[in-house]
């Protein structure tokens, strides 16, 4: 009861915007962090030296001298040794369970040639039990000398009895071997589905690559993972996040797997706060329950819906107004969720009317324009309220559409690593003019838009240091843009961290309880090995996490015997 009183007291002071004094002698902290360089992301007190924590809440922020007065005989003291302390990172766009599975799957991301791609699958297949599929992979053919798509012939000879369906890192196309195609019934007679493409050779035979909706042919016949297999993957994902300082994630493909996270939470193995997002076509099922946006506990919540308007740039399925320069026969495709015409609008109108939060994937400039227009029409029909519409990715925008994000209060949920990855080859597809407003972080911020940053893991690494490095430097992974690709769209470390903490919290309606180091908010913190605000930005990607705290508990500590007493 005493702790409850103190927390209510602290919360009341916070709501009244009054300072919480370290001299409050009635309070004895469970944990204090001292001798730190604290960047709070709270404009009321941007920097500090120390933090006091009681239960799962921050109760005081101040100088080391002040905070030490709150220590008792059982208080844990963490000496930060002048290292940087930040709010825990909140990844606004992940595929968390898929990431957990990928940690144990074949890794094709950095395979630099088709031969290496095939060799890795051959080695992995040698240890796969009979009847088990090979999935995951995250390959990137743009790394290969000729940048040609892989074909089933690369892997058929050593996977005759093992179905293979390995995806490109963007998740918008995958390679199936002959065994998988046979199970899926995909032949030269199979028609392309709405919103999808079966890639074919010059004779009309499927090559094995299926794009977007065409991938469903195979996914429908792949046996589902067991609940225990999903738990193992989720456990791997949450432990991986803890090591990287990611304390919250927004899972864009949680679907029906919320129970997996609940099971980890009940066994005290969940170290990551999760906003579990369902597919947009499932809106009716959620609406019938009366569920609304961001319902649940501080650790696990639901109420968001994710839809797709187009594909990806790497798969030439992102929807543009003009054709691709390197594939002029197409300007991309609208997904099956956009067919028939008007169905996306109807879904968003009804889901929004039910009080659910809408987040729609849009990459090409036409796709972004279409979704912004849908959001505008929905607000006209349903009236103004705090709905927090989001566009996931918002990668390629027309200049005239950038101000609409601020005007319409649409959150741009973006993943900066994609800029330094796609920037290696994007201009061969869309040219220099369209690239000027590609990953337009600077322009969006200057227009007053809210940015929420994430990674799209496993499409990109979950490591926040790569995200910050990418937004600040825009140095492409091939080393060819030392001053940054489209450098006028760079933003500062401060702006990037804010988008990765405060912005991401706002994007999930949680800015009042997390996102900054503020008395009354959740004790989700990270200590970094170097001060990213002071070092050369080119060095940021080398910075490591020393300690991660979630809910007032240390869930990862690099040097457990050196940082505390």
* Same-domain status, 113 and 178: yes
451 occurs within a structural domain: no
* C-beta separation of 216 from 335 below 8 A: no
Q: What torsion, rounded to 10 degrees, do the Cα atoms 527, 532, 538, 544 define?
A: 0
* Same-domain status, 120 and 175: yes
- Say if residue 166 is preceded by a cis peptide, omega within 30 of 0: no
Q: Is 502 helix (H, G, I), strand (E, B) or coil?
A: helix
178 occurs within a structural domain: yes
24 occurs within a structural domain: yes
* Same-domain status, 118 and 184: yes
The pLDDT assigned to 228 comes to 93
Q: What is residue 522's DSSP assignment? A: B
* Same-domain status, 39 and 80: yes
* Same-domain status, 81 and 169: no
Domain hosting 122: range is 98-219
Please name which of 361, 365, 268, 238 lies closest in space to residue 309, comparing C-alpha atoms: 361
The pLDDT assigned to 24 comes to 47
The pLDDT assigned to 1 comes to 37
Query: In the listed set 161, 190, 219, which residue is the last one of a domain according to the structure?
Result: 219
Q: Which of 538-542's residues contact partners 24+ apart within 8 Å by CB, and which partners?
A: 538/469, 538/473, 538/475, 540/465, 540/468, 540/469, 540/472, 540/473, 540/493, 541/465, 541/466, 541/469, 542/465
**pLDDT digit string, tens, across residues 334-347:** 999 999 999 999 99
CA dist., res. 169 & res. 459, Å (int)? 5
The pLDDT assigned to 322 comes to 98
* Same-domain status, 58 and 15: yes
Please name which of 58, 50, 22 lies closest in space to residue 518, comparing C-alpha atoms: 58
CA dist., res. 72 & res. 405, Å (int)? 49
* Same-domain status, 67 and 110: no
- Say if residue 458 is preceded by a cis peptide, omega within 30 of 0: yes
359 occurs within a structural domain: no
CA dist., res. 348 & res. 378, Å (int)? 7
Q: What is the CATH number of the domain that holds 542?
A: 2.30.40.10
Write out the chain's pLDDT in tens, 565 residues: 344 444 444 554 444 343 444 444 578 999 999 999 999 999 999 999 999 999 999 999 999 999 999 999 999 999 999 999 999 999 999 999 999 999 988 999 899 999 999 999 999 999 888 888 999 999 999 999 999 999 999 999 999 999 999 999 888 999 999 999 999 999 999 999 999 999 999 999 999 999 999 999 999 999 998 999 999 999 999 999 999 999 999 999 998 899 999 999 999 999 999 999 999 999 999 999 999 999 999 999 999 999 999 999 999 999 999 999 999 999 999 999 999 999 999 999 999 999 999 999 999 999 999 999 999 999 999 999 999 999 999 999 999 999 999 999 999 999 999 999 999 999 999 999 999 999 999 999 999 999 999 999 999 999 999 999 999 999 999 999 999 999 999 999 999 999 999 999 999 999 999 999 999 999 999 999 999 999 999 999 999 999 999 999 999 999 764 444 4
* Same-domain status, 83 and 104: no
**pLDDT digit string, tens, across residues 467-483:** 999 999 999 999 999 99
Q: What torsion, rounded to 10 degrees, do the Cα atoms 255, 260, 261, 262 define?
A: 110
Phi, psi of 351 (to 5 degrees): -65, -40
* Same-domain status, 171 and 115: yes
Would strands 47-48 and 300-308 be described as parallel, antiparallel, or unpaired? unpaired
Query: In the listed set 166, 194, 219, which residue is the last one of a domain according to the structure?
Result: 219
* Same-domain status, 195 and 135: yes
426 occurs within a structural domain: no
Helix axes 227-243, 258-266, angle to 10 degrees: 70
328 occurs within a structural domain: no
Per-chain mean pLDDT for the chain: 93
- State the residue for tokens 């308007």: 309
* Same-domain status, 48 and 140: no
Q: Percent of the chain scored above 90 by pLDDT?
A: 89
526 occurs within a structural domain: yes
* Same-domain status, 164 and 122: yes
Instruction: Output the DSSP codes for 66-95.
Output: HHHTT--TT-EEEE-TT-EEEEPEEEEEE-
* C-beta separation of 48 from 67 below 8 A: no
64 occurs within a structural domain: yes
Q: Which of 321-324's residues contact partners 24+ apart within 8 Å by CB, and which partners?
A: 321/365, 321/366, 321/369, 321/398, 322/434, 324/429, 324/430
Q: What's CA 198's distance to the chain center, in Å?
A: 28
The pLDDT assigned to 560 comes to 65
CA dist., res. 145 & res. 207, Å (int)? 19
The pLDDT assigned to 130 comes to 85
pTM for the complete prediction?
0.88
Q: What is the CATH number of the domain that holds 121?
A: 3.10.310.70
The pLDDT assigned to 23 comes to 44
Would strands 173-176 and 206-212 be described as parallel, antiparallel, or unpaired? antiparallel
**pLDDT digit string, tens, across residues 96-143:** 999 999 998 899 989 999 999 999 999 999 988 888 899 999 999 999
Query: In the listed set 219, 245, 274, which residue is the last one of a domain according to the structure?
Result: 219
Per the structure, the count of domains in the chain is 2
The pLDDT assigned to 170 comes to 87
């Amino acid at each position: 009861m005493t702790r409850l009183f103190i927390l209510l007291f602290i919360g009341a002071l916070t709501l009244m915007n009054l300072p919480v004094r370290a001299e409050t002698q009635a309070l004895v902290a469970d944990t204090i962090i001292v001798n730190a360089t604290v960047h709070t992301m709270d404009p009321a007190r941007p920097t500090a030296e120390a933090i006091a924590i009681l239960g799962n809440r921050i109760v005081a922020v101040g100088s080391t001298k002040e905070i030490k007065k709150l220590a008792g005989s059982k208080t844990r003291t963490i000496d930060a040794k002048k290292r940087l302390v930040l709010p825990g990172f909140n990844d606004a766009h992940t595929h968390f369970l898929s990431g957990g599975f990928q940690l144990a799957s074949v890794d094709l991301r950095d395979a630099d040639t088709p031969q290496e791609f095939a060799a890795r699958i051959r080695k992995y297949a040698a240890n796969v039990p009979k009847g088990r599929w090979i999935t995951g992979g995250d390959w990137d053919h743009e790394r290969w000398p000729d940048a040609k798509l892989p074909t089933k012939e690369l892997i058929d000879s050593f996977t005759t009895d093992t179905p293979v369906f390995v995806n490109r890192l963007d998740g918008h196309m995958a390679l199936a071997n002959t065994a998988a195609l046979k199970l899926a019934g995909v032949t030269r007679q199979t028609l392309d589905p709405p919103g999808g493409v079966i890639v074919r050779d010059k004779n009309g035979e499927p090559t094995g690559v299926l794009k977007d909706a065409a991938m469903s042919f195979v996914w429908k016949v792949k046996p589902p993972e067991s609940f225990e297999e999903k738990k193992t993957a989720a456990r791997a994902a949450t432990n991986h996040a803890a090591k990287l300082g990611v304390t919250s994630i927004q899972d864009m493909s949680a679907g029906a797997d919320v129970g997996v996270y609940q099971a980890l939470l009940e066994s005290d193995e969940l170290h990551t706060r999760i906003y579990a997002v369902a597919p947009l076509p499932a809106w009716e099922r959620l609406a019938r329950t009366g569920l609304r946006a961001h319902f649940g506990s501080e650790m696990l919540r639901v109420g968001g819906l994710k839809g797709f308007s187009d594909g990806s740039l790497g798969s030439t399925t992102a929807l543009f107004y003009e054709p691709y320069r390197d594939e002029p026969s197409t300007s991309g495709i609208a997904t099956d969720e956009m067919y028939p015409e008007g169905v996306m609008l109807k879904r968003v109108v009804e889901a929004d009317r039910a009080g659910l939060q809408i987040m729609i994937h849009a990459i090409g400039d036409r796709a972004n324009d279409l979704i912004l227009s849908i959001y505008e029409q929905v607000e006209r029909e349903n009236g103004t309220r705090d709905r927090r519409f989001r566009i996931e990715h918002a990668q390629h925008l027309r200049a005239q559409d950038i101000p609409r994000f601020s005007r319409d209060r649409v959150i741009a949920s973006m993943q900066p690593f994609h800029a330094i990855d796609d920037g290696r080859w994007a201009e061969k597809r869309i040219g220099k003019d369209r690239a000027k407003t590609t990953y337009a972080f600077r322009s969006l911020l200057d227009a007053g838009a809210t940015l929420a940053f994430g990674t799209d893991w496993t499409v990109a690494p979950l490591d926040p240091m790569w995200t910050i490095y990418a937004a600040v430097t825009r140095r492409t992974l091939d080393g060819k843009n030392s001053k940054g690709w489209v450098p006028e769209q760079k933003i500062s470390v401060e702006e990037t961290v804010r988008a990765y903490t405060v912005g991401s919290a706002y994007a999930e309606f949680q800015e009042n309880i997390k996102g900054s180091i503020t008395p009354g908010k959740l004790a989700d913190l990270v200590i970094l090995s170097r001060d990213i605000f002071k070092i050369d930005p080119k060095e940021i990607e080398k910075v490591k996490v020393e300690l991660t705290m979630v809910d007032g508990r240390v869930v990862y500590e690099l040097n457990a015997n050196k940082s505390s007493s």
